Amino acid sequence: MTEATRRERLRAETERDIRRQARALLVARGRDAVTLRAIARELGITAPALYRYYDSREDLLRRLADDICTDLAAELNADLRQIGEDDISAQVYSVCRGFRRWALAHPQEFALVFASTEDTLGSCGPDGERGHVGDQFGRVFLEVAGRLIASHPLPTGIGADVPENLHADLAEFQQILLATVNDRGVAVDEQGLPLGAVYHMTQSWVRIYGHVALEVFGRFPFAVSNPEPMYDSMLAQILGELGFPPQP
């Protein structure tokens, strides 16, 4: 089973330890507190040793961001498993609420992964591709959203007047979505996932991300004493536009 040599196992273990400590520092005292020396101190080694595992502090932060995406995806998937396989609307609620809950509980991680300029932190995910939400997390989100749309006859006029200039981009995204959903064993084609719906999904991500980021960064235009109903009402409206009845 374990094809790894002793050396490789040890290496992988320290590698995990390093990121675990790095993450603890990020959570506790923010991005700037994630210093190589602090990590090393915590691990009982010296700072230069870390260069055997990471090219630089920036490299470490990049991989840390990957870890965070993976864990977020795992958390959302765990929530999903508690929901009936067929109640897709509830699954969407679960993922969206889970995303907000996670972001508010882990603002530093959220800022690192979802609010870093591209030059201070490359794209998240092992592939260097551009324009992805952190891969693992993105998959969960896209899959459930894609299944939602494909599962239901869409209201007429959904995503009406999608801008001409976006057809090409949306068509590409449509293919990614189809692949993602089909990977999960649900058969869908372009008919079940029309461009208008893909466009609507994009707009929904704008709203979900916008609300969560505004809340995390405290940039709502007034003091919202309890933002949760506002978020839920937004989700209800998004699902309502797709023809799903409201649901707590």
Partner DNA sequence: ACTGTCGGTGAACGCCGTTTACGAAGTTGA
Partner DNA sequence: TCAACTTCGTAAACGGCGTTCACCGACAGT
Residue ranges in contact with DNA by CB under 7 A: 5-7, 10-11, 14, 34-38, 40-41, 44-49, 51-53, 56-58
Give the separation between CA 168 and CA 228, rounded to whole angstroms. Answer: 36
Minimum Å gap between C-beta 43 and DNA is 8
HSE-CB for 161 with a 13 A CA cutoff:
0
Give the separation between CA 140 and CA 156, rounded to whole angstroms. Answer: 27
Minimum Å gap between C-beta 220 and its own copies is 6
Give the separation between CA 217 and CA 213, rounded to whole angstroms. Answer: 6
Our CB check for DNA shows the closer of 10 and 171 to be: 10
Residue 110 corresponds to which tokens in the numbers above?
A: 């959220």
Our CB check for its own copies shows the closer of 43 and 176 to be: 176
Give the separation between CA 97 and CA 228, rounded to whole angstroms. Answer: 9
Give the separation between CA 99 and CA 193, rounded to whole angstroms. Answer: 24
Eight-class DSSP state of 121: S
Binding partner of 210, given its own copies, DNA, none, CB within 5-8 angstroms per partner class = its own copies
Minimum Å gap between C-beta 216 and its own copies is 7
Q: Give residues in contact with its own copies (CB under 8 A).
A: 30, 32, 107-108, 111, 114-120, 123, 130-133, 138, 141-142, 161-166, 168-169, 172-173, 176, 202-203, 205-211, 213-214, 216-226, 229-230, 232-234
Binding partner of 35, given its own copies, DNA, none, CB within 5-8 angstroms per partner class = DNA
Binding partner of 38, given its own copies, DNA, none, CB within 5-8 angstroms per partner class = DNA
Q: Which residue has the tokens 């864990």?
A: 71
- Grouping H, G, I as helix, E, B as strand and the rest as coil, residue 79 is helix
Binding partner of 188, given its own copies, DNA, none, CB within 5-8 angstroms per partner class = none
Nearest CA to 39 out of 23, 21, 64, 17 is that of 21
Our CB check for its own copies shows the closer of 24 and 45 to be: 24
